[in-house]
Structure 1
Amino acid sequence: MPYVELSDSLPLYYEDHGTGRPVVLLHGWTMNSSFWAGNIPALAAGNRVIAPDFRGHGRSGKTPDGHTLAQYARDVRELLDRLGLTDATLVGWSMGTAVILSYVEQFGCHNVRGAVFVDQSPRFLDGPDWRFPLLGGYSRLDLAEFTQTVRHARPLAIKPFIEACFAKTPPSDAVDAAYAETTQTPTEAALDVWFDMAYADFRPVLPRVTVPTLLVYGEQSKVFPGDLGGWLAEALPDAEVERFAESGHVPFVEEAERFNGVVAEFLRR
């Protein structure tokens, strides 16, 4: 199992498959690289696919420190540097996209050839000037209620969130299996980065994403309802939208074959 020992001695786990131009798959909040299982073989047919587990997630080292989007982005940069990757395409699902935006905020598009955003908003909290908050409306009170439930009754918060990721409610055993994977992230680490993400506003960073960007958005997303992909396409310098009619927040799972084909074509271009 490949690991990179980061500069603070934390072991960062990553999957590494195939050869060719590098593609780095960045997972969502409390998830891990195993959620890309339906995509890695297809994408690795013509590319080198690297899928890390963020610190505190999956098989990576557990630490009480560093659970911010900025630190996760620094970890991604260190991984690219350590592996000698100079033309990577970063594919971010949900929180993974927020990490990409934090990366650009700190480093520009250093060593980045392209980007793929999968169903994520640059801002979670609602406000009078924002049409695409989390769940269609996410106030500070909603944030407080959710995080307190995570802290004191974690399954009651996370399992409904997993269900909401899908256009159609998945079987309970699939939800239980996904939830079991999320428990590898300690609760305090999960809450630290959730608060950081909730209060982030990456809208000012969007003009700095100067590399070609593919926007993959589920038309039935309950997590980010509305035409967020269309809004982002107008805000980004070089972006195109692929809308997935049968998907919610996880088009790479719900329409995996089409997702793999669309991303593979983007990588070829």
Structure 2
Amino acid sequence: MPYVELSDGLPLSYEDHGTGRPVVLLHGWTMNSGFWAGNVPALSADHRVIAPDFRGHGKSGKTPEGHSIPQYARDVRELLKALDAEDATLVGWSMGTAVILSYVRQFGCDGLRSAVFVDQSPRFLDGPDWDFALMGGYSATDLAVFAQTVRHARPLAIKPFIEACFAKLPPAENVDAAYAETTQTPTEAALDVWMDMAHADFRGVLPEVRVPTLLIYGEQSKIFPGDLAGHLADALPDAQVERFAESGHVPFVEEQGRFDTVVTDFLRR
């Protein structure tokens, strides 16, 4: 895989397929660009598809510094400039959507043509004025327990999380394979960015996303249950909602064909 050397010297690995307007696929927490492999052929038929590994993830450089959502967003901006990929559509799955929102908070919509959010909430922690927390209710105690389990018994935290991403329980061998991919992210790096994301609140950024935005949300999501898509559509200036009835947190896997068609149609809009 090629890489871009970022301004702090870190090598950021990425895949680059097809030609045309750029589409940048941003993966979820402790995942990597390989999770988009099934979608790249269809999306790259008419577009240039770029799929990076965030720092500390996949084949990108491992460093103890910089594991925050704002830094990941700055890395994406450097990547766009280095690859001459302005006027891009950013497609964010889970943590990838948080990175998009942080990008907009820092840089506005400069360099962006549109955005796609895939099953992510702008706020993880619960509260008296918030109905769309992680898992339907994520307290500071839940966060502390999860972090300690990741640190001291990582498989016991991550494997159930992977299972919960799907509408139907996946085979154990698939869970094991996905977990193996997540171990490319060092535990401390994973925890740093998780804690940063968990304490973030991007609700105030939503009105600033002034580009067309496609919302793809699984109706059987255990990670973000409820009509989060409807809430986001009301808060965003220009949003289109596509609900995936047979999907949980990973509609691009669970309903791959429909996902590819919906995103391709949106890109042609």
**Equivalent residue number for residue 26 of structure 2:** 26
Structure 2 Cα separation of the partners of residues 115 and 240 of structure 1? 11
Structure 2 Cα separation of the partners of residues 87 and 197 of structure 1? 26
Letter in 1 for 2:233: A
SS of structure 1 residue aligned to 2:58: coil
Q: Give the structure-1-normalised TM-score.
A: 1.00
What is the correspondence of 1:112-151 to structure 2 with a 5 Å cutoff?
112-151=112-151
Structure 1 Cα separation of the partners of residues 195 and 184 of structure 2? 19
**Equivalent residue number for residue 158 of structure 1:** 158
Letter in 2 for 1:111: G
Structure 2 Cα separation of the partners of residues 181 and 80 of structure 1? 25
What is the correspondence of 1:159-178 to structure 2 with a 5 Å cutoff?
159-178=159-178
* CA distances 1:208-240 after superposition (whole Å, capped 9, x unpaired): 000000000000000000000010000000001
Letter in 2 for 1:86: E
CA RMSD of aligned residues (A): 0.3
Structure 2 Cα separation of the partners of residues 199 and 216 of structure 1? 23
1:85 deviates by 1.4
Q: Give the structure-2-normalised TM-score.
A: 1.00
1:84 deviates by 1.1
**Equivalent residue number for residue 209 of structure 1:** 209
Letter in 2 for 1:35: F
SS of structure 1 residue aligned to 2:159: helix
Structure 2 Cα separation of the partners of residues 40 and 85 of structure 1? 17
1:155 deviates by 0.1
User: Which consecutive residues of structure 2, in runs of 5 or more, have no partner in the other structure?
Assistant: none
* CA distances 1:149-193 after superposition (whole Å, capped 9, x unpaired): 000000000000000000000000000000000000000000000
Identity of matched residues, %: 81
**Equivalent residue number for residue 253 of structure 2:** 253
Structure 2 Cα separation of the partners of residues 192 and 209 of structure 1? 26
What is the correspondence of 1:54-73 to structure 2 with a 5 Å cutoff?
54-73=54-73
Structure 2 Cα separation of the partners of residues 38 and 244 of structure 1? 17
Asked if 1:243 corresponds to 2:250, the answer is: no
* CA distances 1:67-118 after superposition (whole Å, capped 9, x unpaired): 0000000000000011111210000000000000000000000100000000
Structure 2 Cα separation of the partners of residues 232 and 65 of structure 1? 32
Structure 2 Cα separation of the partners of residues 99 and 146 of structure 1? 22
Structure 2 Cα separation of the partners of residues 3 and 193 of structure 1? 22
User: Which consecutive residues of structure 1, in runs of 5 or more, have no partner in the other structure?
Assistant: none
Question: How many residue pairs end up in the alignment?
Answer: 269
SS of structure 1 residue aligned to 2:113: strand
Letter in 1 for 2:76: V
SS of structure 2 residue aligned to 1:97: helix
